[in-house]
Amino acid sequence: MSRLRDNGLTLVLLLLFAVSIVGQWVTGWHVALEDAVRHHQPTMSLWAYSGSSQFLSSVFENWESEFLQMSAYVVLTAMLVQRGSSESRDPDAPPRDADLAAQALKPGAPAVLRKGRLARALYARSLGLVLALFFLASFILHWTQSARAAAEEAREHGEIALSTFAYLGDPGLWFESFQNWQSEFLSTAVLVLLSIFLRQKESPESKPVAAPHAETGS
């Protein structure tokens, strides 16, 4: 039971993810079936739909925006502040991660910090770097699968399909990306500002309920 308690947040989030992506998969398949019938085209099985450009493009389109949001948020909160927000570091507090070489000697410090200056520099930025790599991978998969879907549609209409690289300059790709990016950045900005004045009891994303509005950080 202690393992379930200690990992409950991750487990519940992964469960919600699994339910959501299965829901997207099944309902997207039904939409594809209806579209095929409407256009008098062959239908595909649920398994075949899971590897289709329509499904994969929509999945990675969403993942791309989420990883962009999180990577940008992690990096920007290291450089910028919002006084009074629980989502910001305190601008008046001393640097938390100064002299990592000395901090590496503390009990429990990650062993990688004792591997040298380069290892410390990379590890000190590893969260932002890995999230950025996830964003890049998701963007590439969104781009290539959207290009594949656009090429299939062009051929169905007897048109010349764009190459994958040419599709990188197509407005359709960037429309799909920007429509998600803008919502992610807006929701993050709203969270940063609302956390100045509003509270959520016992949440680490909120300041203590009785904390002053001007208090910065959680």
What pLDDT does 76 receive?
A: 96
What pLDDT does 211 receive?
A: 92
Confidence of residue 208 (pLDDT cuts 50, 70, 90): very high
pLDDT at 218 over 80: no
Assigned token pair, 152: 């299939």
Q: pLDDT by residue (tens digit) across 26-84?
A: 999 999 999 889 888 888 999 999 999 999 999 999 999 999 999 999 999 999 999 99
What pLDDT does 118 receive?
A: 95
Q: pLDDT by residue (tens digit) across 156-205?
A: 878 888 999 999 999 999 999 999 999 999 999 999 999 999 999 999 89
Q: pLDDT by residue (tens digit) across 69-123?
A: 999 999 999 999 999 999 999 999 999 999 999 999 999 999 999 999 999 999 9
pLDDT at 215 over 80: yes
What is the C-alpha separation between 115 and 131, in angstroms, rounded? 23
Q: Is the pTM of this model over 0.85?
A: yes
**Region class of 195: left (phi > 0), else alpha (psi between -120 and 50), else beta:** alpha
Residues 49 and 170: beta-carbon distance below 8 Å: no
CB burial of residue 179 (10 Å; 0-12, 13-18, 19+): exposed
What pLDDT does 190 receive?
A: 96
Query: Residue 210, CB half-sphere, CA atoms under 13 Å: how many?
Result: 0
What is the C-alpha separation between 140 and 127, in angstroms, rounded? 20
Contacts of 62 (CB under 8 A, 6+ apart): 180
Residues 146 and 172: beta-carbon distance below 8 Å: yes
Residues 207 and 199: beta-carbon distance below 8 Å: yes
What pLDDT does 68 receive?
A: 97
The C-alpha angle 197, 203, 208, rounded to 5 degrees, equals 50
Is the Cα dihedral 148, 154, 155, 160 positive or negative? negative
Is residue 183 within a helix (H) or strand (E), and if so which, with residue range?
helix 171-197
DSSP string, 24-70: HHHHHHHHHHHHHHHTT-----HHHHHTSHHHHHHHHHHHHHHHHHH
